[in-house]
Amino acid sequence: MTTLLWFRSDLRLSDNPALAAALAHGGPIVPLFILDDEDAGRWRAGGASRWWLHHSLRTLAADLAKRGSHLILRRGPAERELDRVAGEVGARKVVWNRRYEPWAVSRDEGLKAALKGRGITARSFNAGLLREPWEVVNGKGEPYRVFTPFWRALRAGLDLPAPSEAPRHIPAPQVWPAGEALGDWGLTPSRPDWAGGLRETWTPGESGGQERLDAFAGRASLAYGEARNLPGREGTSRLSPHLHFGEIGPRQVWRALTAAAFAETGDLTPSGVEVFLSEIAWREFSHHLLFHAPALPEQPLRPEFAAFPWIQDSKGLEAWRRGLTGYPIVDAGMRQLWATGWMHNRVRMIVASFLIKDLLIDWREGQDWFWDTLVDADLANNSASWQWVAGSGADAAPYFRVFNPVTQGQKFDPDGAYVRRWVPELAALPDKLLHAPWTARPLELADAGVRLGVTYPAPIVDHAIARERALAAYALARA
């Protein structure tokens, strides 16, 4: 009896519960990936994510071929394509791993009912989270809105099975159904080809994710607590896109880090590893928030922000997108994003605070830009994080906490390594002036080859004035 294995955001063969279930069922397995932009609607993958998806699917197809199998590609509404492929191969069972975006949750419920009506068994599994969103609730049976008690509850009930290895062989059907060519989907840019920095930075696919995990586990993770806030150092894991596309799973990450830490120190969770695991829990928290508050990407979680007096500032928004705000740490982050499809987490908070509080531009504008440009663009993480900075989300930073981009740069990039890499026109400035070049004397600027307003922009807003304006707007919204 043939089983249809529907790949989605679980593009790996190891620790894949749906694949394990298909193998346990016996009989031929038909792996299938459906590019379903219609059901996703506005939240179809952005440009950087589509580039990653192309290369991840190519890697998955090669991994399947090594095991005697083949990845079938189809495009269109999932229900239609699942029905067609199931009919073509005579599948009586369909298995997949769950997604938690609102559109996917509602669609999957309908899919199970539709398949059952056709006499086809449908089962779904958890491959992307440590625990399901409905499993971690407070004493009243309600979802958590504050991270710390959520983290305690998540950890208290955590019982992780050992991750399974990838199978050596996957049974194939006698005849394969027709599929589309990956190159015909146009997921990678051609003219202009802006993805050069992505190719230089990333290796999409399960093996690339495992290599990055292996490199981070051990001493790098032990130092994470001190190094994670320094964007000029390689102190973070950069696992986020691999986690988003399911090339590795959080159970694998947890096991690898605790095992490596124990081998190194005799302690499963020394401080650096503990801090990193709490970041994995923040990812988990974001997915739980989105599951229980499906309007999170569209509406503020705190109702008083619905009437916030945002400003329409197209010039400011464009300067922010292009990394031309005149604030070096902000511009460095935005240029890193455009070049590599990724941005250091500390800098994400700085650039988000600048857009929301210095420019008073709606957080949804930033969310949408990140959605299109991040290789790790994840609906739950993206929306929860932007609302956290805005002060409108769960366990949010207080709105009156306004990051000063100058002091943030001085504190977290003290030697200027990060700014000098991404804003090279300022590279010759001394450290004391690098994060506030407008404070330099004309001779100091001339010696560094900097001409404010010509080779590098003057600040587009005065931070001190902008901060007072933001606080006044917040007070108005609350009133």
- Catalytic (active-site) positions: 279, 282, 310, 345, 363, 386
CA distance 157 to 224: 25
Pairing of strands 121-125, 3-7: unpaired
Residue 358 is given by DSSP the state I
Q: Are 241 and 202 in contact (CB under 8 A)?
A: yes
CA distance 169 to 165: 12
Angle at CA 76, nearest 5°, toward 70 and 79? Answer: 85
- Side chain identity at residue 67, one-letter code: R
Q: What is the largest CA-CA distance in the chain?
A: 80
Provide φ and ψ at 143, rounded to 5°.
-70, 150
Query: What SS3 class is residue 45?
Result: coil
Provide φ and ψ at 458, rounded to 5°.
-70, 155
CA distance 245 to 8: 8
Q: How many CB atoms lie within 10 A of CB 2?
A: 20
> Helix, strand, coil proportions of the chain in percent (round to 5)?
55, 5, 40
Q: 291 is written with which tokens?
A: 């599951």
Q: Which residues pair with 35 in a beta bridge?
A: 75
